[in-house]
Every structure is written in structure tokens, then in C-alpha cells.
Chains A and B, each alone.
Chain A
Amino acid sequence: MRAAMPAEARVGHPEPGEPMLSVEGIALRFGGVQALAGVEFTIYAGEICAIIGPNGAGKTSMLNVLNGAYQPSEGTITFKGRTRRKMHPRVAAMEGMARTFQNVALFKGMSTLDNVMAGRNLKMHSNFVACLLPVGPSRAEEARHRAYADEVISFLEIEDIRNVPVGRLPYGLQKRVELARALAAEPDLLLLDEPMTGMNRSEKAEMCRFVLETKARFGTTMALIEHDMSVVMELSDHIIVLDYGRKIADGTPEEVRNDQTVIDAYLGVATEDDA
């Protein structure tokens, strides 16, 4: 029944400003490549935290470590007060972490609504047999979840494509459906992997608005990876900079902007990661 309670009542739910998630000494290697080494940082409840860095800095790897898609060789992950050696994607989801992917990972054959409903998968409790009955508690439950899914759909202004198979949608809308699917899980921590890649200026502006409205309306803590610096500066309360798998800066946008190491990392290797 835990999932039915409001987010505030959950055990170990951090108040705004308290640590939501922190990592310590994270190391990850692929064969001979050290993707991450000794990374540590804390994401605080209620903030939008941007993880930035040149290409190949290990940003997506870091996000994958956070939700358990990758398992680090060293280090610990503390999420909502509970410290683990490694995460598992299912455990992460059950504990209130949701994410989007760099290359849209939607269920292409399914409609927008079904995708968003799939995001509520962990909130559903009806058993297998009850699901097959045309009436009864599972129908009522389904209707309740559908109402919530529709709320998220109208929040993100995608009612028009509610019943369209997502495979047919343009890229920008697919990104928005993916955000809707993640929000449908009512996450405490939302990980966004390049939510604005491949978008034009007006689509980006729209996405920024949705990210800010999400924070205002649901109080969701967010960690996002983004390359567009103007977007990062506009959205984030807190910026973490990675370079070659190490953290080189961590602070407010103001601090990071004026940090000499960061400027060097971006300008110094610009020819390598410009591609």
C-alpha cells in the first residue's frame, strides 16, 4: 500500500534541501576504459541539478549508474537515506526514481496513452486473474490510473496524440511522451538524459517550460544532462561538471561559469569533442 500514500508520507523521504541522492567514490570501467573514477556528489531534494561535460566525459554512464543500468566497480549510492553498493533498475523504480533516455526509448508500437500507462506499472496492484475480468476492482483501478495518466498527458499538452502510436510521432513529441511516461510514475527523482537534443529553438523553449513546471507542480527533484549551455544556465540550481570520468567542478551556475578548470576543459579540448 506504500505506493498509494502521498509522496511526503513515505519513509525516508527527504525534505527540500536535504540530500536526495548522493554517490561516493564511484568507479566504472569498460574493459580497459575507465569511464568513471572517484566521482562523488550530492543531489538535493527539490533542486534541478545539471550534469555537464564534454562528449565522452561519462555523463550518461553516471546516469546509468544512478538508476542501476550499469553497476559500478567501486563506490556507493545513497538514495533517500539508504546506502547501496549498486542499484538495480527495478529497485530504483520501486524506490521512486524515473528516467528518460538519450535516444528516445519509447514502446513504439503502443499509443501515447499506453506508454504513459506503462509508466504507472508499479502503482498497479491487481492480480493476474482480476485483470482478465471485464468488471470488478481491477477495472476501477485501471480507470483511476487512466485518469492520472490523462492528467499527465494534459499537463504536457499532448492530448492531441493521446491515441496515436508513438512510433509515428516526430522526435520532439516523442521526447515529450517519454517525459510523460516518467512523470506518470510519480517519481521523487527524475533523471533526464539530454531531454532537448535534436530539438529546434522553440521546442527547446517548450521543454524548458515543462521542466520548470514539473518542478513547480510536483516538486520533483531532477538531474539532467544537457549540452546547450543557455538551457543549463536557465534551468539548473546546481551544476556538476564531469571531464574524462572525473568530477572537475560542483556548485551553483554562477560558481561553475567562472571556474577556471571548467573553462579549460571546455575550451582546451574543444577541437576533440566538437564533432
Chain B
Amino acid sequence: MEFLWDFFVAPFLDMIEYPTFLGEVAISGLLTGVMYSLVALGFVLIFKASQVFNFAQGAMVLFAALTLVGLMEHGVPVWGALPVTAIVMVALAFAIERGMLRPLINQPPITLFMATIGLSFLLEGAGEWVWGSNVKALDLGIPSSPVDVAGMLLNEFDMIAALVAAVLVAALALLFQHTPMGRALRAVADDPQAALSLGISLRTIWIIVWSVAGIVAIVAGIMWGAKSGVQFSLSLIALKALPVLILGGLTSVPGAIVGGLIIGLGEKVAEVYWGPVIGGAIENWFAYMLAMLVLMFRPQGLFGEKIIERV
């Protein structure tokens, strides 16, 4: 009886009693969610445009962060290291198109998926070979001190990170919805064969999406790197993006964003309010549990396309 009370009633009473605290928890959850969204966004962009499930997205995040930190450790200032890292990621996109996508054109998706697993080892290895495997601190000079917003104490770094992510997402939305290139990207995502017959170059599109995914990886890498240090485990945040993809749908950009926010918010709230009842560590499995429920009841995700197989 007492357990049921603690589980089903007490947390909600707490929420009502201390709304400011609920606000703090919710916002910090959403801010973490933004960072999940960013990683998931990289997956969605590549999947939409080339039907490749890019297992190496996490490795790209690590590789981008390592390059940035490595350059800064060698005395390059941030404003110099950032564009160089961006150039490296675009060069990587060209190399991937030439070395991986082009030779594997018309191969089944599983082959490309395997290739991206190889790519992820290559990137992790190359990054650590060039820049070393020790944990590196990434200090951008943004304070992570708490600031008071409407009575709530919020982390300044998290807020700036969320703002940057929002700007990035808005820029991508603009690019996709309002430029001829965005139209070509959407065309390829909808029907590659028809797009090809209109003279749209699939190779150019691939280079563009992998470049954009690389740039998104830089932003994600900076955010996660600044929080937890730049180290090998950074490539594992890709695992956290999987439930986001399942929740939001593999082919939906808004889905990646909303999915990330829901998971960030949900796991934080669950941890704080229900953690003590069942012994904590909810944050570690909440996302996967949610993903499983989504798979059972709405396998295409919240925003994904329903796949109908005609027999």
C-alpha cells in the first residue's frame, strides 16, 4: 500500500507543491534532450537522403570533438580551430562518398550499414592515433555556473548550448524548406530514381548530407565534450540516439527533435521523482524502455512514415 502511494501519488503531490523545482528539473531535462536531438538529427539526415543507417554517427561526434580539442591543445584558438574542424568534416564527407558510398552504390542497405560500422572503427582509431587517447578537457570559456531565471536555478552552459542547437536546427529547416538545394535533397529522400531522372546528382546530395551531419557532429561533440570531457565514450552517445530515433521516426527531422526532447525530459523527471522509490538509475534505462513501448504500439515512431508492404 505504501509503495503504491509512493509510486502513484506522492511524486505528483511533490510536483504540485514545489512547481519551481519541477520547472528546474523539466528544463534541465529538456536541455539534455536537445543534445540527444542533435545526435539523432545526424542519423536522420543521412538516412533520409541515402537510406544508409549511419552507425558511425557517434564516432563522427568523437572524431569532430577530438580534432577540435587536439587543435586547441596545440595552441590554436577556438575561432581558428572551429573552421578547421568544419573543413576536416567536409573533407571527410568527400572521402566517404568517394571511398565508401560510390563503390557500394546499389548494394543492399545491410551492406552499407556494415560499411558504416567499419567507418566508425576507422574514425575512432584515426582520431586517437592522431590526437592521443587520453581524456581531454574541452574548455570554451563558457561558465557552467547556475543563473536565476524566474526563480529557477539553471545552468548557463546548458542554456547557451540549447540556443546554439536551436539556431542550427532553424538554419537546417530553412535550408531544407526554402532553397533549391533543399528541394533537391527532399526529392532524393522521397524518390531517388525519379530525382536521378531529373538530373539531380546523387553524389552531390550525399556529400552535402554527410557534410551537414559532420557539422552537426561538431556541435554535438562540443556540447558533450564540454560536459564530460573528450574521450572514447563520446562515441557511445550514439546509443542514446537510437531510442530517440525509434520514438521520433527514422525519417523525420521534427521527430528527431521532439523525440530527443521527450526522452531528455522524461528520463530526468523519472529519475528525480521516481528514482528514490525504486532505487534510482532510471536515467540509464528509461529511454530504452520507452523505445520498446513505442515499438510495440507505434513501430513507425511518432512522426515516421508508415511502411506498408504490398503483397
Contact = CB atoms under 8 A, between A and B. Distances in A.
B191 A105 contact: yes
Nearest to A119: B198
A109 B174 contact: no
Interface stretch (A17-25, A72-80, A93-101): A93-101
A106 B180 contact: no
A106 B191 contact: yes
Nearest to B193: A105
A89 B184 CA distance: 15
Given A67-B197, A69-B197, A124 B186 contact: no
A124 B180 contact: yes
B197 A93 contact: yes
A119 B197 CA distance: 9
Interface stretch (A125-133, A152-160, A231-239, A246-254): A125-133
A260 interface: no
- The residue in B179, B181, B183, B198 that gathers the most chain A C-beta atoms within 10 A of its C-beta is B198
Nearest to A191: B197
B292 interface: no
Contacts of B180: 117, 121, 124, 126, 131, 142
B175 A132 contact: yes
Contacts of A124: 180
A127 to B, nearest CB: 9
Nearest to B190: A107
Given A121-B180, A121-B184, A128-B181, A106 B199 contact: no
A106 B198 CA distance: 11
Contact of A131 (B181, B194, B197, B201): B181
Nearest to A67: B197
A68 B200 CA distance: 14
**Majority secondary structure, B binding face:** helix
A185 interface: yes
Interface in B180-227: 180-181, 183-184, 186-187, 190-191, 193-201
Given A93-B198, A121-B200, A110 B193 contact: no
A122 interface: yes
A85 interface: no
Contacts of A93: 197-199
B194 to A, nearest CB: 4
A110 B183 contact: yes
Interface residues of B, number: 20
Given A124-B180, A131-B180, A132-B179, A98 B187 contact: no
A110 B178 CA distance: 12
A110 B198 contact: no
Contact of A110 (B174, B181, B186): B186
A67 B184 CA distance: 19
Contacts of A107: 186-187, 190-191, 194-195
A108 interface: yes
Interface string B149-180: 00000000000000000000000001100011
A114 interface: yes
A39 interface: no
A118 interface: yes
A105 B200 CA distance: 15
A181 interface: yes
A126 B178 CA distance: 14
Interface string A156-186: 0000000000000000000000000100010
B183 A118 contact: yes
A132 B174 contact: yes
Given A67-B197, A90-B201, A109 B181 contact: no
A132 B179 CA distance: 7
Interface in B60-98: none
B301 to A, nearest CB: 16
A121 B199 contact: yes
Given A107-B191, A109-B190, A90 B199 contact: yes
- The residue in B174, B187, B194 that gathers the most chain A C-beta atoms within 10 A of its C-beta is B194
A117 B201 CA distance: 16
A131 B179 contact: yes
Nearest to B171: A132
B87 to A, nearest CB: 15
Contacts of B196: 69, 89-90
A114 to B, nearest CB: 6
A118 B199 contact: no
Nearest to B191: A105
Contacts of B200: 90, 118, 121
B187 to A, nearest CB: 5
Given A105-B191, A109-B190, A99 B197 contact: yes
A99 B191 CA distance: 14
A149 to B, nearest CB: 11
Nearest to A93: B199
A33 B193 CA distance: 23
A121 B204 CA distance: 13
Given A105-B197, A131-B181, 8 more contacts: A98-B197, A106-B194, A107-B186, A107-B194, A107-B195, A110-B186, A118-B184, A185-B199
27 contacts: A69-B193, A90-B199, A90-B200, A93-B199, A98-B198, A105-B194, A106-B190, A106-B191, A107-B186, A107-B187, A107-B190, A107-B194, A108-B191, A109-B186, A117-B183, A118-B187, A121-B184, A121-B187, A121-B198, A121-B199, A122-B199, A126-B180, A131-B179, A131-B181, A132-B179, A181-B198, A185-B199
